Structure formats: structure tokens, C-alpha cells
Amino acid sequence: MEEGNGYISVGGGGDKRPDLTLSLQTSSTGQPLLKDYCNSVDKEWMLYVNESKRLKELADEETEMITQVLLYLESTLYLVLTGVSMEQDPITFSKARTMYTETWTVFRDIVSRREFKEELKPLHAMILVLVIRCQSTLSFKLYNMKMKMPEVMNSIQSVYQHFVCYPVPPTAFISVVPCSSSGRPVEMTSIPVSLYSHMYKIIQPNRDLCAARDFWARADRLVEQYGIQDIFKQLDNQFGPLMYQSSLVDLVRYVQEGLRMVSTLSINSTNTGSEVPLEESRVELNHSTQF
């Protein structure tokens, strides 16, 4: 573990850690303020990718479970920042959605670890909540990006125009087919194939919206179940309450500070020889945390 300039990383790296504060600061107009060292967005996102790879390699070699998970999670946060950086340039903008999708699967793999399927300790539950909230916020981001895709926007307009031009009574074209497994009749409605195709394109992004809400609700239940409300209140007081609609930059800030808190609590637990009750712990938060 390394500490310095308000930044704590379980991944070490010493003075060689690149300055990756890039687009975490914004101007009064909301436009990213790119760092002077970076002449192009391409160079910028490559820094994030390289840092993510470095942390993953450290995680692969780590044998202590909590440290390994924190390394994997920190590594994945840099993939999120890679996507954020890609969005700043029209050349790489189209690749950002792919980056977010692949990053989401990494978060899913972390959640699927054996350690999170057993009886959780509060410290493990805190890590799990952070990861699930990452899944939730990324799902909402993917929903927004997909809804802005030209083919989806065209489908929304086509469905709207269809029902404006051809209003259909609710009972029209309904046939009763006795084919359900329960033996009860099933009502079916005939619609044009083209309309079905457009509706299907609209439904797909909305699955991400439903997933975002479901993940967030699950994280909230875990916070209450394991009695870790106080520790997340500290994070909320530091950065403001995080929601699945929050920006990815806010998500990374929030989760990075959460990792620092977990690291500190884990060290305290190791030093005392017993787990530190989270409800009795207060981690000193540092406003100068950097990425």
C-alpha cells in the first residue's frame, strides 16, 4: 500500500504513477480541462489503460483476498476513466460504449467471486456494495448511450408516428389461443412486423435502465442488512449522495475514496488481530484525493 499527496493505492507504484487527473476537473462551462502534459485524448486514455493493466498484474500476483479484490476494483476504475476519456474525442467516441460494456463484465466477474457468495463480513459487504453500485451506474450510462443511437432514435420516432397515424383500440386484433402451460387462454395481438422490430430496438436499452435500478436497490439492501449505513454516510458527506444517475467521474471519485476507507479498515483489523466494527469506525477523509 502506498500513501502520498492525499492518494492511497493498494497497488504501489511510487513516483512512477502517472498524473491521471485529466477530466475529473471541469470548467465553469462543464467542459473537461485536459492536463497540460497531454497533447491529445488518445495519449490520455492510453495512460488509463496502462495503469489498469499494471494494477491487474499486481492483483493477479496478490494472495491476500481483500488486497487482491481492491486491486482488481481499482484497475477496473481506470477502465471506466478510459471510457470517459474516449468520449471526449469523436474519433474514439464510438469505442467508449464498447469499453463500458466490457468494463461492466469485469465488475460482474468481481461480484461472482467465491468470497462474495459465502457469509459476508461487514468489510466484504462494503466492497460488494461499491462494486454493485459501479454496475448500476454503468448500466444507466449504457442506457443513455443506447437511447441516443440513431437507429434507436429512429425507432422511437417510427413507433410514435405509427400510433399517431393508426390509433388502434385496445381490443383490436386480439385472438384467444389456449396454449399456456396453465391451460388458461392466452390473448395475442397482431402487429406489423416493422412495428415489432422498432419496439424491440427500444426495449433493449430499457433493459439496462431496469438493471441499473435493480442493482442499486440490491446495494441499498446490503447496506441495511450488514449495518454499514454509517460508513456510507461518511462517503455521502464527502462527495454528496451517489445515485445510479450520477456521472462516471463522480462514481470513480466516490468508489476510489471507498477503497481507501476499506484499505484503512483492513489495516486496522490486521493490526488489532480482530475485525474493526464498521459502525464504530470513522475513517478520516481527505479532500485532496486524486486519481
**Would you say residue 142 lies in a domain?**
yes
pLDDT for the residue numbered 44: 80
Number of domains the chain is built from:
1
SS3 for 91?
A: helix
**Would you say residue 194 lies in a domain?**
no
Enumerate residues 6+ apart whose C-beta is below 8 A from 195: 158, 159, 162
**Would you say residue 222 lies in a domain?**
yes
**Would you say residue 171 lies in a domain?**
no
Q: pLDDT exceeding 70 applies to what percent of the chain?
A: 69
**Would you say residue 198 lies in a domain?**
no
pTM of the model: 0.74
Q: Which of 4, 9, 5 is nearest to 260 (CA)?
A: 9
Enumerate residues 6+ apart whose C-beta is below 8 A from 54: 11, 13, 75
Dig out the grid coordinates for 231 from the structure.
460508513
pLDDT classification of 13: cutoffs 50, 70, 90:
very low
- Angle 238-5-1 (CA atoms, 0-180°, nearest 5)? 90
Widest Cα–Cα separation across the chain: 72
User: Residue 284 above 90 pLDDT?
Assistant: no
- Rounded to the nearest angstrom, the gap between the alpha carbon of residue 281 and the centroid of all alpha carbons in its chain is 26
Which is more confident, 181 or 72? 72
**Would you say residue 31 lies in a domain?**
yes
**Would you say residue 163 lies in a domain?**
no
The domain of 16 spans 2-148+211-280
